[in-house]
Structure 1
Amino acid sequence: MPTITKPLTPTTIGNLKPKTNRYPKSDGGCTGLFIEVMPSGSKIWRYRYTLNGERQSPVTIGSYPSITIEAARERGRKYAAMVAQGISPVTDAKKDRGAALALDTVKAFGVHWFETQIADKSEDYSKTTLRTLEKDIYPMIGNKPIGDVTSGDVLAICDKIKGRGSPQAALLARNVIKRLYDYAIDRQVVVTINPAKMLVARFIATQSSRERVLSPEEIGKVLRAVYLSDMVRPNKLALHLLCITMVRKSELRNAEWSEFDFEAGIWRIPAERMKKEKEHWVYLSTQAVGLFKELKALATSEVYVFPARHGREDKPICKTTLNQAIKILDMDVQHFVLHDFRRTASTHLHEMGMSSDAIEKALAHKIGGIKGIYNRALYAEERKKLLQLWADFVDAQIENGRTSIIGNFSRTE
């Protein structure tokens, strides 16, 4: 006997508690309608359907309780009627959401943006974003119509946060508003200008070297300048690798050929060379493998990947070599040191929604609590994915604005 799905009620929905991963609960009051419970506790109405014999991705109706049970069922029945005629409800669903949001406030649209775009990202990323919205953004502009916010409003938010001694939180608030408005513009919701995009990050807060995060444009500027300079080829490749492998400078310059398995795409850094005194595996992107193979072809040492060019002793390059190489570059990028590559990678990968734990593992940071007990293979697949994603992202920034041939580092299949 088939299981009968009961219609959802306010009590039933109220009893749905968040879990580590989002999960659906079907509504017996409308075929195809379900509510999805996010790890943050938000609840989103969606409608699943099959068109032309193929299961389609569910369409989003909206958040509960903003969209009531009856309103969600009404939408579900409307979309079911369209599907019965062989018509995809996707376009109508977007229009329905847009119509509901067109004249809404920043907070109303922010709630929608968070629930549909951010809530199912990594826990740290979603919590940080939500805290920024609720603590800094909504109190100042939450009640303003989304189309009325100016760059002056965003600057006022940033200045207030800086006033309490938190310049990095000010930058974070600017970035959250920027992403929210990017989404609003993409969805054609009233606004056509992003008020946060008009504010240059370095004018919001002066970053010290320990806080510096390169923008995508600055990543491109740095590496284009590297490849267009007259420094020796191994140093150019070293700086590129320092960016895309997320390792520390000391770990790279002391690298030995015996540590690499190019077939498996793994670099095993021994414990004695690691800050935490524990062996660290770097899952190499296709770009990193290609760069290391080029270095192998240029090798003048059977031991070291980056041998010193002078003297008879076989030893790695001096610890200041790469610092000096970057200092003499002609580039319009301020307050940048090599260690900022790691922070830059971490920041952008978090913004892409990658797992915070996987990022921390890739950086060889210690993860506290029970998670820190697991072996080195933990998050291996996620780390492979994020390091390849990061190398692809860096490639794209090098290509942006390139006017000279500096090499082909694109991902190859």
Structure 2
Amino acid sequence: MPKLATALTDTRVKALKPKVARYLVSDGGGLVLEVLTSGSKVWRYRYSLHGKQQPMTTIGDYPAISLSEARERARKYAKIVESGKSPVETAREDRGTVVRLDTVRLFGAAYYTARVAHMSAAYQRTITRALDKDIYPAIGDKPLSEVTALDVLAITDRIKARGAPQMALTVRNLLKRMFAYAVFRRMMTTNPAAAVEAKYVATQSSRTRVLSPDEIGTILRAIYRSNMRHELKLALHLLMLTMVRKTELTSALWTEFDLKEAIWRIPAGRMKKSKEHWVYLPTQAVSILRELEKLTGGEGYVFPSPRSREPRPVSRAALNVAVDVLKLDVADFVLHDFRRTASTHLHEMGCSSDAIETALAHSIKGVRGVYNRAGYAEERKRIMQLWADFVDTQIANPAKVNFRGAEGKSA
């Protein structure tokens, strides 16, 4: 017997993620949902006529057309096919009756459903607040095609005037993402928010951005469930656990590691302060490095470039590119935030400030700075393990996250 399609649900439709290639998910009765590489989703009707398979007929985009509406259309087209006719013309007429999402408010609702609704509760609250408090009151009823850079600037200026420059930047970034999605969907020809440069709205919160526990879990889950090279997944996890700078990790050599002693000695020449730095490795980091040792042979660079015939480390931009491809909707996030995030949460746990600063390879001024690395060794070992355990707890059901390239094994 042929395998029957499992009926779709609204929750499942929202959760479908893009892959390297577009793919189809069947609802049964000829109705299928095509998920494009961009993340867009399109309902289509698959049928045969007079014994021959026909090209699929387009029903319309999701979420503009809901699951229930798509099913109703599919049933309608099935009856037409049963009568021996093609449903193509009827489908074309039906598509013309779809309500256009041509105002900022209408499109914003569709954007939220498609790009925000599956994100963390904290992120959803931020976006909802930005839309309801700042965007819709100003331009909600304005046609998308009539929104200008001056409209965006006026919104950000009003937010800054009430003393919230970072919120102004968050709103500008949201509008830029939302309008980029509208441009992709051919509902706008240009992105007016892109013309409002972030540096003129407010300084990026590069010195204040701290990831919430929920965001830490969101990022790690997205990394491990993505299609990026497994070595890059492990590199990003290590970057979060070890609290080092990105280039300190990507240029690491196996000769710097003593996995038996769980110590990574980074030479002075690769450190920002030109002083040798010791990283006390938590058990999770040692496990990841053991795996990388098997993958690379444990010689030369820990993260060798896959494109170079000569011994070279992976490019400096590799980790940024890997994260950018994920299209994470974690507001204003950059990889350097891992260090600040670790410091903030460890301070909140009551850990020694001097030990944390030393773990981050920051200089400690005055008499307290006289102590050498061994003076904080035991405390640093403790806080590094504490931080790694904290990160683990932010991943919902970590046993199901693909840490080792096989289900059910954690790092």
Give the TM-score taking structure 2 as reference length. 0.49
Q: TM-score, normalised by structure 1?
A: 0.49
